[in-house]
Amino acid sequence: MKDLVSIIVPVYNAQNYIEETVMSVINQTYSNWELLLVDDCSGDDSIQVMRTLQEKDSRIRLLLQWKNAGAAEARNKGLIESRGRYIAFLDADDLWKPEKIEHEVEFINKKKAAFAFSGYEFADENGIGKGKVVKVPETISYREALQNTTIFTSTVLFDTLKIPKDLLKMPKIKSEDTATWFKILRSGYTAYGLNENLVLYRRPAKSLSSNKVEALRRIWNLYREAEHLSLASSLFNFVLWAYHAIIRRV
């Protein structure tokens, strides 16, 4: 029997997207998975939508936070509750291609890797691909990741037989996902890229990631406050990061 994949989704006021996101998991060609939906005190009808979906598929687990604590804490709760060998993260508004899990599990085993990620495509608010596909390198090291944050959260897969779950816990800071990739790579692991478009990265007009000034501020703070890079090193990596970020979007 294939190994279990635990998929962790932090949910906060995602009633307009979560059903479509969950259906993209249900439609996976790889069937041995559990979906941990961690609601972070949504104020809309997200919980009701998720409960309806849970009734239709026993592989779906709904976890409720007692107070709003942010995506990092929600993902960490899902990580603690997870039962699978493999850990995957998926944002509540993103979509997976049907072969996403199957292809990545095959890939991570072929490479004998602990950390894998894939290519993805930018999509509009309706989840329709824009045709802009982000290609990924064969491997990425810590130094390379500082200059090119091409690892997108909804594409990653981890093998917990090779990497401790504690290392996957996310810090409660802005851009907690990128900070986690830095932490893992800094610990000596290499991330392996599967250059295949397996994810639709939905970008609603008002999403945090669409705020360019905030994105600049977040990556700078990661360099200075999380990674404790010198001013010169931060400036060097920041310029290269900005260049790669522009290239991904044009």
Model confidence pLDDT, tens digit, residues 102-117: 999 999 999 999 999 9
Question: In this model, does residue 213 exceed pLDDT 90?
Answer: no
Please tell me the predicted confidence (pLDDT) of residue 250: 63
Find the mean pLDDT for residues 58-72: 96
Find the mean pLDDT for residues 71-87: 98
Instruction: Report which of residues 44 and 245 the model is more confident about.
Output: 44
Question: pLDDT > 90: what percent of the chain?
Answer: 88
Looking at the structure of the chain, the number of domains it has is 1
What CATH number does residue 184 fall under?
3.90.550.10
Question: In this model, does residue 166 exceed pLDDT 90?
Answer: yes
Question: In this model, does residue 145 exceed pLDDT 60?
Answer: yes
The amino acid occupying position 203 is R
CA 176 – CA 203 distance, rounded (Å): 18
CA 115 – CA 192 distance, rounded (Å): 6
Rounded to the nearest integer, the mean pLDDT of the chain is 94
**Residue range(s) defining the domain that contains residue 11:** 5-249
Please tell me the predicted confidence (pLDDT) of residue 203: 83
Least reliable range by pLDDT among 27-36, 138-147, 196-205: 196-205
Q: How confident is the model at residue 247 (pLDDT cuts 50, 70, 90)?
A: confident
Please tell me the predicted confidence (pLDDT) of residue 211: 67
- Contact criterion met (CB below 8 Å) for 70 and 121: no
Please tell me the predicted confidence (pLDDT) of residue 61: 98
Please tell me the predicted confidence (pLDDT) of residue 215: 84
Question: In this model, does residue 212 exceed pLDDT 80?
Answer: no
Question: In this model, does residue 214 exceed pLDDT 60?
Answer: yes
Find the mean pLDDT for residues 75-95: 98
In sequence order, the 6+-apart residues with CB closer than 8 A to the CB of 6 are 33, 34, 36, 78, 82, 83, 84, 86, 87, 88
Please tell me the predicted confidence (pLDDT) of residue 244: 85
CA 111 – CA 197 distance, rounded (Å): 18
What stretch of H or E contains 142?
helix 142-147
Global confidence as pTM:
0.93
Please tell me the predicted confidence (pLDDT) of residue 248: 74
Q: What is the CA radius of gyration of the chain?
A: 17
Least reliable range by pLDDT among 40-54, 80-94, 202-216: 202-216
Please tell me the predicted confidence (pLDDT) of residue 208: 45
Question: In this model, does residue 209 exceed pLDDT 60?
Answer: no
Question: In this model, does residue 210 exceed pLDDT 70?
Answer: no
